[in-house]
Amino acid sequence: KAGVTQTPRYLIKTRGQQVTLSCSPISGHRSVSWYQQTPGQGLQFLFEYFSETQRNKGNFPGRFSGRQFSNSRSEMNVSTLELGDSALYLCASSPANYGYTFGSGTRLTVV
């Protein structure tokens, strides 16, 4: 079966712009989580959604937001981009809250 699909794979944005990243979970998976990965901070939890509801949120500023649609697909948005937002953004899906499967990520570069 198809894995977790993230689009786009690579993105270059300018400071101050906003960006939307997309994640299609594995079919049947209702939980979608987002993580930011940087060399300095490692994998940091952003938020988790289940059945269109955000159940938990990490310690990121309000510029980072997300949502989940009725088909479990999810998007995350980052507004007013800063250089420090350059990272690999990973989406993971699970049937519930265990055994998450990750996508290959979207590499965002802010210039």
Partner 1 sequence: GESVGLHLPTLSVQEGDNSIINCAYSNSASDYFIWYKQESGKGPQFIIDIRSNMDKRQGQRVTVLLNKTVKHLSLQIAATQPGDSAVYFCAENKGSGTYKYIFGTGTRLKVLA
7 contacts partner 1 (rule: CB under 8 A): no
Distance CA 17, CA 93 (A): 28
Query: What is the smallest separation between the CB atom of 71 and partner 1, expressed in angstroms?
Result: 20
Burial class (CB in 10 A: 0-12, 13-18, 19+), 40: exposed
| Residues 45-64 contacting partner 1, CB under 8 A | 45, 48, 50, 55-56, 58
> Residue 48, Cα to own-chain centre: how many angstroms?
9
Q: Which residues bind partner 1 (CB under 8 A)?
A: 4, 31, 33, 35, 37, 39, 42-45, 48, 50, 55-56, 58, 88, 90, 92, 97-105, 107
